[in-house]
Structure 1
Amino acid sequence: ILPKFGRALSPAEFAVYFGRVWPYFIQKIEKTKHKDETTDSQRAFAIGVLSECFRGLKEFSANWVEALLPIFVSCVQDRNNEVRNNAVYGIGEMVLHGIECSYKHYPQILACLSNVVAKEQHAGTLDNICGALARLISTNSSLVPMKEILPVFVQYLPLREDFEENSAVFRSLDVIYRQGNEHLIPLLGRVLVVALQVLYKQQHNNDECRDLVFNFVKQINRDFPDKFAEVVRSDAEIASFVETLPLQ
């Protein structure tokens, strides 16, 4: 219910309401951390609700970054898959909507995501790690060490099950492509394969995401026709699909 209020009210109005109720959810998270596994769903729910509220709070998210970020970071190490999944998603949303006040936390957040991705087995959480990193890149790519981060980011694509995160992923790739980031160029072949898979398998949740991925593919075809042709030739099924795309 709470995130729905965020969509119905102005950010300023929702911030007043959120300010009254968020301690209840923190209490729920802290109370269930050291209990048995039957309480894990309550913790996952609480983290999930808070994560969904940043979109409604928009720039007012900045008021809660200092208080909520440490809690979300600690939940990234949780024993429960859904808690970790929701916490990672929440960190990305916090950065996306908190903007400037999140900048000083980039090193901590990147270290947190780096530590968890190496051992994470849950498909949804891996997808949300990609989504969170994408939000960091879109919000301020200059604070992300692309030389080290980008190859790992691309390595974990395509997404496994949470295809809603493809919007964030391709928005970030589009941002750094338009910036002419030198570290993306060697990875373009892999990125193109992923993008074509998203289109071919319809791994997008709305027309906006589909159009974003399609225009990204179209731009690469225009700028790097040889690379594009090489990728298409490598897979007969994809080659047949590409023939159906209005790329010109």
Structure 2
Amino acid sequence: MRSAEDWSRMGGVLITVLAVAAAAVLLVPRLLGVAAGPEAEIITALKSTERDGLSLTLPGVGEPLRSQKHHFARITVNVEPGGQRAVAWATLDFDGLLGRTVISSLGVERVPFVRRGGEWVPENLAAPRLAAVVRALESRRRALEAGDREALEALLAPGLESSTGGGEAELARVMELQRRRYRAETWLLRLERDDAMATEVWRLEGQLPSRPVDERGQRRFSLIRHEEEFLFSSSLM
């Protein structure tokens, strides 16, 4: 029969084994990532979002852009000299929501990464170009609903002459509505390296002196990258 001292010794050994196992669970993935190099660790970080989900905060927009499903593919990684920064290029197939707006996007994504606390993490967002395009579209929607011509003009790429890039008559018709509500029901996006195409399914509600208005339609826009933003390179209407 084992003595109390034997049982105590065995308990101590068991505690040590469990502690070593717990440390291995935490350290081995990190060590494997280091051994495989930054490229493998960055690819793993992007692919893990497919399981964990994406929630992208857009400056000036109250609600985040949330993925329902998404997939990164064709990922290539360029590590900058010094080994503390990198850029991942990938294709991103994304389906999600911004509030009640349904968003479906396919195209090129550029994701800057930095090394923090021994791990590679996105410098800001895991899909910054998608976020920039959606922010431009949502800013246009809000400006139309508020009747803010100055905000609309700020969304145009340099060189466009009018506040709408054309479409003044249609803008004037929208602006004359009282109790105006402009909703984007769907945005279908195609992102390239330096530009994007967007198709919007919209609904406009409001009141004219003679009648109520409730219209639906579809518009197509082109946007161009300007530094870290996307601006409209064609008519806003």
The TM-score with structure 2 as length reference comes to 0.23
When you count strand as a share of all residues, which structure comes out higher?
2
When you count helix as a share of all residues, which structure comes out higher?
1
